[in-house]
Amino acid sequence: MKPIRIFRHLDCEGPGYLLDVLRQHGFSHESINIDAGENVPVRTDDVSGIILMGGPMSVNDPLPWVAAEIALVQQAVKNAVPVLGICLGSQMIAKALGAKVYPGPCMEIGWIPIHITQGSRWTEDLTTHLDVFHWHGETFDLPARAEHLFRSDHFAQQGFAIGPHLALQFHVEVTAAMIEEWLTRHSGDLQRRCYHDHDASTIRQQTPQKIASLHRTAATLLGRWLEGCK
């Protein structure tokens, strides 16, 4: 099988637990580290699928690599190469497919439940109420013909699918170590959080209780996405 190409936009926002799932399904991977100055490839026929990770930047920022990644997503969709986007990556897919991306009402940070909006092959093995990890301030409209999958109380758009392509606003990839690093490096974001009781101490207390369930959700969603990768 061809490898999965993973785009990293910040050194502390790598694929995390997703690498374990890829190995379990027999996929290799290669990394494009945008934060290290690596260029966006122009081909999509040399990979089985593309994963776009998160980052603190906006898809509306006038960065050359943002435009290049959006063009790559459009090419991948045209060529039926599955794309998975997480957080910033989900916003990248939304914009590439013609939807608007814009600031949300607050920063959704910490362990916050999402709800399944409708029955789907993507969600049939998941419970209707899922505790997942968030760290984002922007949101998006649904692209045309998108299948709306998830919502939360503050953000109506938490995930959608179009064909083999999957966009997730929340973070299924994080490990406990990654969460700790984000709490340290991005502590200023907590001043804009949606829920005032979701402070760093609370997030640290909740993480050991919830991380295993999150990884089961990750395994289910990534496993379903990998079914379309060849």
- What is the CA 87 to chain-centroid distance, rounded? 4
Residue 215 to residues 17, 55, 115, 211, Cα–Cα distance (Å): 7, 20, 17, 6
- Under a CB-based contact definition with an 8 Å cutoff, are residues 138 and 87 in contact? no
Catalytic site positions = 87, 171, 173
CB 60 within 8 A of CB 68: no
- Contact yes or no for 50/5 (Cβ under 8 A): yes
Whether 44 contacts 52, CB under 8 Å:
no
User: For the chain, how big is the Rg over CA atoms in Å?
Assistant: 16
CA–CA separation, 149 and 182 (whole Å): 26
Which phi and psi (to 5°) does residue 8 adopt?
-105, 130
